[in-house]
Structure 1
Amino acid sequence: MAKTVSVWVALAVIACYLTAISAEETVESKEFVLTLDHSNFTDTVSKHDFIVVEFYAPWCGHCKSLAPEYEKAASILSKHDPPITLAKVDANEEANKGLANEYEVRGFPTLKILRNGGKNVQEYKGPREADGIVEYLKKQSGPASTEIKSAEDASNFIGDKKIVIVGVFPKFSGEEFESYMALAEKLRSDYEFGHTLDAKHLPRGESSVTGPVVRLFKPFDELFVDFKDFNVEALEKFVEESSIPLVTLFNSDPSNHPFVIKFYNSPQDKVMLFANLSGEGVESLQSKYREVAEQYKGQGSSFLLGDLEASQAAFQYFGVKESQVPVIIILSNDGKKFLKANVEADQIAPWLKDYKDGKVAPYVKSEPIPVENNQPVKVVVADTLEDMVFKSGKNVLLEFYAPWCGHCKNLAQILDEVAVHYEKDADVLIAKLDATENDIEHPSFDVKGYPTVYFRSAAGNITAYDGGRSKEDIIDFIEKNRDKTVPQESVKDEL
């Protein structure tokens, strides 16, 4: 009898153990990220005051890296009070491309914060690892502005390496306070906002002011600045302009990176001086550059000083050689480039004046035309773009790439296979252009990242390719969009 009992106890223990394993597997297998598509997107979003949506593509390496972090964050945030919902949409799926266009998805992954049932849409600008996602979204789901009740609150909130905006008010009501809170709600994904009844709590600035006044704290230039116009548009302009340094420093310090991003996102002309900031004699160069930045402040130009060591990616992007340093590059708001190589301190101001006066010619570069061009994927350079793409009479798939781009390297083998497939088809040309070594002046091509792929049919229709990255996907796209080519003899006869 004892033996029988022992067997049953053992079986019971095993059963409990197996049940526990089963329960663990169930928990682990549960997906906390909602899967949305065109059929359930609107209905799901409308039921949430706050939801985060990732637009992804199955072939995207960055999306694959984000997936486990995003799922882990979703699991943690499901227990938040109230729960915060994370969702995803396969934007590469043909039926979902309308959603991707509606939400202005330009690359993968793109994350959007949707509030009030989808009525308010903001970019997600937080970290891409689980703990960072959790902390960022907890802040984003809370109040747009934090009340500061003491000097300790202010010290913990403001810090010395970020931009913080604080409104000082005699009372938390009235037209000015409402305008300030509207601004905080609108810009909350970009900045941290606080409000207080007593300026004495704040670490810098006039402490006797009773407001209403907006004080912007920053880790550069004059460290803080006050503003008293409570028109929302005026407030937004003040915040955006005050949050860019007179001269943005681009070096290896990660605390500077948010300001570098803001610089490159600015709609103004971008003036960039790249130099060896640890080299001899650089102090006079920096000093003169800052003087010029002061001179042109408020005149439609933003200024950046880039350290040679930290700016290699920028050098590759602009096609600049180290032998040209110190070098000034201007990227105008209409996309033209201007360059002054081996610039000396006393040449900065005169050259910028000539640029402002329209006396400097744009810098247009092209790689040499290849002597041999017999690989399956043909090489296009700036000087052959017109003839090979626009005058060839062929259906042309053209990739704009960067040699250092990992996605481009992954796509290269696929394009080779596509080119081999069409090797005996005289109507189709598969080509590539190194966008870091060639300037693209044609308005039909909008190249903002790598790789960017366009298709020009024989009849002249130009389409940006945003489909899958497999050989079959690309061939299917070409077959659906190609035209019969016009024999060149016929073209000449008509001319």
Structure 2
Amino acid sequence: MAERISVCFFFVFVLSLIASLPKQISADESAEGKEFVLTLDHSNFSDTVSKHNFIVVEFYAPWCGHCKKLAPEYEKAASILSSHDPPIVLAKVDANEEKNKEIASEFDVKGFPTIKILRNGGKNIQEYKGPREADGIVDYLKKQNGPASTEIKSADDASAFIGENKVFIVGVFPKFSGEEFENFTALAEKLRSDYDFGHTLNAKHLPRGESSVSGPLVRLIKPFDELFVDFQDFHLEALEKFIEETSVPLVTIFNNDPSNHPYVIKYFNNPHAKAMLFINFTSEDFDSYKSKYHEAAEQYRQDGLSFLVGDVEASQGAFQYFGLKEDQVPLIVIQHNDGKKFLKPKLEAGHIPTWLKAYKAGEVQPYKKSEPIPEVNNEPVKVVVADTLQDIVFNSGKNVLLEFYAPWCGHCKKLAPILEEVAVSYQNDADVVIAKLDATANDIPSDTFDVQGYPTLYFRSASGKITHKNKQLLSKKEKKMSFEKASSCRRG
């Protein structure tokens, strides 16, 4: 589950086309009653995309609330962009349709809405990482459709290009040619959806750094830590690594300030183990904690740890995810990609380096989130929590059908009476257990169970074999037959 924490912060799906229906993007026609977003499916997707150098595609599901909220903004943006020179085409694909699921899988769609930018007839694919309201969509896509790097010819150009709250990457060159410049522009094209790139012949135009250099060099300008960093290795892999490593703060701030949100997303997407200090930012001793935590980040950032400090007010989702309570603050949590968590509640500022040292030495035991063990568990569908998973599922010596569910999940609610009926039919069979586990309130061993959606069903036979069952809702008869087949294998 750990590797999917960032998924909670993301949306999915956007597609675009035109060519075959040119009248739909005509700026001269009245927009009344007209749909500017092209509808694609398995029959016309490839042909339409292949005809465009730049097209935006939304992958959506009709039942998705985020998709419904995006729809009017997306349509308005499509209307405006139809008059752009050249027109920018927006399209959509119903990824919930069975016939379109192969396309969704090809584009790695894991949530809704998902938006992709397709270039060069679909040969180059990028995630859309812009706003979700019409004007923001328009501005973002106009920029994405232009040059990947902007030439900076004056200090005024630099002031207009380089803002206060974003990362900017500027190449300084003696001339706009040669291998270094070509590598820089190639990288700008590759990473244009993540960063703003510029290039200049004169470093004196730039607001930070040595102004007498003639390059070639890359200067990364940022609103945190050392404010700018220069780099002179123009090998593509080295350049990309430099940008990825220096474009994030040593300690990411997680609060209600929107300017910090891009760095929070990058933090949760990076492959390192994640250290998170949660504290009230308005507390009198906040500066003391922040200082000690920053010192620890300096010491341990080369050891595969990324650091974040989160304000309690903005971190309620994280508290719910980890099963934490506000009375544990200040507290620090470290999460590994395999799902293991390490926790220290009511942490004193001076103990931050001591606790981290103990953690690195392997002296801190993992923390496991679990609901309380039920005092009574005599319903047909047994309740499993993290603290009883071993006893009920692994050590019972029985055939166990286990559902991983979320209380808010509509599919889970539809499955509940079916699961209940199956459980009742096996109530007198001592060798069979039908059970459920709230995957939002209990930690799950990710090395055993791959829970990527709800409901997810697993069957563990009495002999120890674990089978991932189809999480799509089956009919009662199909569900019962499926379980009977699995059970009879053990009995045979």
Tell me if both proteins adopt one fold, taking TM over 0.5 as the criterion.
yes
Pick the TM interval, shorter chain.
0.7 to 0.9
**2:404–2:438 CA contact under 8 A, matched in 1:** no
CA separation of 1:394 and 1:365: change in aligned 2, threshold 3 A? closer
Q: Secondary structure at the match of 2:313?
A: coil
* Corresponding residue to 1:70 among 55, 58, 74: 74
Q: Which runs of 5+ in 1 are unaligned?
A: 1-23, 468-473
Counterpart of 2:184?
180
1:344 aligns with 2:348: yes
The alignment's TM-score, normalised by the length of structure 1, stands at 0.84
Counterpart of 1:262?
266
Give the whole-Å Cα distance in 2 for the aligned partners of 1:173 and 1:326. Answer: 53
**Offset of residue 109 of structure 1:** 1.0
Counterpart of 1:82?
86
**1:366–1:437 CA contact under 8 A, matched in 2:** yes
Counterpart of 2:275?
271
**Offset of residue 277 of structure 1:** 2.0
- Residue by residue over 1:239-259, the C-alpha shift from the partner in whole angstroms, topping out at 9 and shown as x without a partner, is 111111011111121111111
Structural mapping, 1:22-41, within 5 Å: 27-41=31-45
1:485 aligns with 2:484: yes
**2:217–2:231 CA contact under 8 A, matched in 1:** yes
Amino acid at match of 1:107: G
Q: Which runs of 5+ in 2 are unaligned?
A: 1-27
**1:270–1:303 CA contact under 8 A, matched in 2:** yes
1:298 aligns with 2:302: yes
Q: Secondary structure at the match of 1:297?
A: helix
Q: Secondary structure at the match of 1:92?
A: coil
Give the whole-Å Cα distance in 2 for the aligned partners of 1:388 and 1:66. Answer: 44
Amino acid at match of 2:69: S
**1:457–1:483 CA contact under 8 A, matched in 2:** no
Give the whole-Å Cα distance in 1 for the aligned partners of 2:447 and 2:330. Answer: 31
1:199 aligns with 2:203: yes
Give the whole-Å Cα distance in 2 for the aligned partners of 1:197 and 1:220. Answer: 26
Aligned length, in residue pairs:
455
**2:404–2:456 CA contact under 8 A, matched in 1:** yes
CA separation of 1:458 and 1:348: change in aligned 2, threshold 3 A? closer
Structural mapping, 1:52-71, within 5 Å: 52-71=56-75
Give the whole-Å Cα distance in 2 for the aligned partners of 1:118 and 1:153. Answer: 33
Counterpart of 1:384?
388
Structural mapping, 1:42-441, within 5 Å: 42-373=46-377, 379-386=383-390, 393=399, 395-399=401-405, 401=406, 408=408, 410-411=410-411, 413-419=413-419, 422=422, 424-426=424-426, 432-441=436-445
**Offset of residue 434 of structure 1:** 3.2
**1:419–1:429 CA contact under 8 A, matched in 2:** no
Deviates further, 64-73 or 139-148: 64-73
Give the number of the structure with larger relative contact order, counting CA–CA contacts within 8 Å between residues 6 or more apart. 2
**Offset of residue 180 of structure 1:** 0.4
1:461 aligns with 2:467: yes
The alignment's TM-score, normalised by the length of structure 2, stands at 0.85
**1:318–1:436 CA contact under 8 A, matched in 2:** no
**Offset of residue 41 of structure 1:** 1.4
**Offset of residue 283 of structure 1:** 2.3
**1:394–1:485 CA contact under 8 A, matched in 2:** no
**1:168–1:214 CA contact under 8 A, matched in 2:** yes
Give the whole-Å Cα distance in 1 for the aligned partners of 2:80 and 2:172. Answer: 35
Give the whole-Å Cα distance in 1 for the aligned partners of 2:186 and 2:217. Answer: 15
1:452 aligns with 2:436: no
Give the whole-Å Cα distance in 2 for the aligned partners of 1:148 and 1:25. Answer: 38
**1:377–1:416 CA contact under 8 A, matched in 2:** no
**1:55–1:88 CA contact under 8 A, matched in 2:** yes
**Offset of residue 458 of structure 1:** 7.0
**2:423–2:434 CA contact under 8 A, matched in 1:** no
Q: Secondary structure at the match of 1:296?
A: helix
- Residue by residue over 1:22-41, the C-alpha shift from the partner in whole angstroms, topping out at 9 and shown as x without a partner, is xx998433222121122221
- Residue by residue over 1:201-224, the C-alpha shift from the partner in whole angstroms, topping out at 9 and shown as x without a partner, is 111111111111111111111111
